[in-house]
Structure 1
């Protein structure tokens, strides 16, 4: 992005000291009181000097008033400079320029407002960049199955390919891929609107996870992946929204399939710890770099699949894991990328009995010292 002349001048000013005698004052009211006291004292002093040096009231009083007003304008202008900068920066942000920052060294309400404004501008800039990347990613993800599906159907219509079960299976796979992406986008809009509730029921985890693994195995057929399910105790039941929970597990399994090497296994582990249930989806892929683990579940953020020093993008839209975190949050649980030496372990922590009033407080991820 090119730097405008205005932005260049601001950069020079960033290197200059912004020191003001009233910067340590933590109240704007105190600053205004100081301003009134200084101007009143200054005006009185000028009037006294004028009267004692032979100038009459007709000269001393108007001169004192004018000079006092000039002094008050100088002091007030310095005090309100951040407000004017915020106005200019807000106008620039309305036009899409999120690089503007407000300079304020005071500790009063205006200084706090300026610091908050700068944080907001930085967050908006980051979100805007991620949103642009998400649009590009979604466009690419949509174009790929649409192009493949169109080519397949054109071949069938032109008689190049027979409409046999094998060709229909390929078309169905592309349609399912489109359906998943559309579902992600719809869920994202529901997240933005906050208009989704839970339909709670008792979910037997052993059968539930086996069914999810069987569905995911169809996606991982080409890689010859093996899915294993371990539930302790075997009859473990959780109170949850089965559809939302399936959305979470299916999303995590699809990510595991995408990044797992061929002829490896993906493990689903569910264990009970008091009133807490921990579900882990474990794969032996390259994992997620530690620096990327905190932002992996942010909206529009695309993680990093290189566990060491590389920067290999994971692909995808950056929507799926954000929806996973949202669905887990609806259940009052947490999700994290566990710290494991190899592969990737997505650790999901849920309360066994979700209260009707909302998510419980104080639910923290369960951590183990050994391998899962």
Structure 2
């Protein structure tokens, strides 16, 4: 069926909806509506019978007329009662074709109206899920294509003799392989997130040696970028209950993100201290990069989002999403705060990210 024909069919199906009569929408129970419908139909039939008797119409002629009039009256009321069901049927058929735009409108407050409202909510969630699925497939395909293409080109050059297998050429191939491996690891983490297969091994983590360890790992992963790392823990023996591996993943992703966007010679400051309410620990990561725009601060923690600007530095767009997930497992929060540097604060951009962890780790 062509779109025009399909649209014409929809128009034809919508024309009878103008005949919907819904005087019973004020009632909250479908059973009450059915009772009223039966009572009204019987009353109409009795009234028409009385009128036909007084008019002297023969019973053989009056009976069919009364039955037909009662059925028409019943049909009009029943049509309004079941109109949301017909709309849901049409919307379900449209959803099967991938069209989630069909709305289900109802003014009824009974069980059918509640079902229509729940159906509309479900349709909206299905549309969002389907859009996320398509975006995920498109983004994963794009992200996989980049390192695979680079790795293939490099290996083809080595095989064809265009490039000598010297350390520089092998390092390029290794970099692309590591990028591909990182993307796969991130996707596996997100699949565990969606499946809910997560366990926390909570222990007291001393932040001073822990942050130095994470910074050392991030420094190696940054590929020798010209940045300075500054660690500040107050007090020096500060500790927090957490899963060390998951917390390492959070801070490492934040530091890797900071190193990727820091200018040459820039400083990356990592600080930890107790919260002002003394009910947990805050960990701040602050770099001197361009920062995240105010309107993108919540969006950067979604999958494949990069702060609203093109990122050609090799990031997967998954690090901050995984960080938010891991922090949430601990019952904490992560957010982008206003930049303390006045020139960036005026522009609404910030590269200061704060992780808040409670004193008592949550149970996933």
Which of 341, 353, 357 lines up with 2:360 in the alignment? 353
Residue 140 (structure 1) aligns with: 142
Is the contact between residue 104 and residue 116 of structure 2 (CA under 8 Å) also seen in structure 1? yes
Distance 2:60 2:25 in 1: 38
Equivalence for 2:333? 334
Q: CA deviation at 1:23?
A: 3.7
The two structures have a TM-score, normalised by structure 2, of 0.82
Question: Could you say what secondary structure the match of 1:254 adopts?
Answer: helix
Q: Is the 8 A contact 2:20 2:76 kept in 1?
A: no
Once superposed, which parts of structure 1, at least 4 consecutive aligned residues long, lie more than 6 Å away?
16-19
User: Which of 289, 292, 297 lines up with 2:293 in the alignment?
Assistant: 289
Structure 1 unaligned segments of length 5 or more: list them: 306-311, 360-372
CA offset at residue 181 of structure 1?
Answer: 0.5
Aligned to 1:363: none
Q: Relative to 1, partners in 2 of residues 1:43 and 1:339: Cα closer, same or farther, differing over 3 Å?
A: farther
Distance (Å, rounded) in 1 between the aligned partners of 2:320 and 2:82: 44
| Equivalent position of 1:73 in the other structure | 75
Distance 1:141 1:5, change over 3 A: same
- Counterpart position of 2:191: 189
Deviation at 1:22, TM superposition (A): 3.5
> Cα gap change, 1:173/1:114 in structure 2, threshold over 3 Å: closer, same or farther?
same
Q: Call closer, same or farther: CA 1:68–1:287 in 2, change over 3 Å.
A: farther
CA contact (8 A) 1:92 1:98 kept: yes
The structural deviation recorded for 1:86 is 1.0
Alpha-carbon distance, 1:9 to partner? 4.2
Task: Give 3-state SS (helix, strand or coil) of 2:255's partner.
Answer: helix
Indicate the residue corresponding to 1:33 in structure 2. Answer: 35
Write out aligned runs for 1:179-328 (5 A).
179-221=181-223, 223-273=225-275, 274-298=278-302, 300=303, 302-305=305-308, 312-314=309-311, 318-328=317-327
Task: Report the equivalent of 1:130.
Answer: 132
Count matched residues: 346
Asked if structure 2 preserves the Cα contact closer than 8 Å seen for 1:219 and 1:257, the reply is no
The structure-2 alpha-carbon separation of the partners of 1:34 and 1:226, relative to structure 1 and needing over 3 Å to count, comes to: farther
* Larger CA deviation: 247-256 vs 157-166: 157-166
Q: Distance in 2 between matches of 1:22 and 1:321?
A: 52
Alpha carbons of structure 1 residues 6 and 255: separation in structure 2 relative to 1, 3 Å: farther
Unaligned runs of 5+ in 2: 340-344
- TM-score between the two structures when normalised by the length of structure 1: 0.81
Which residue number corresponds to residue 172 of structure 1? 174
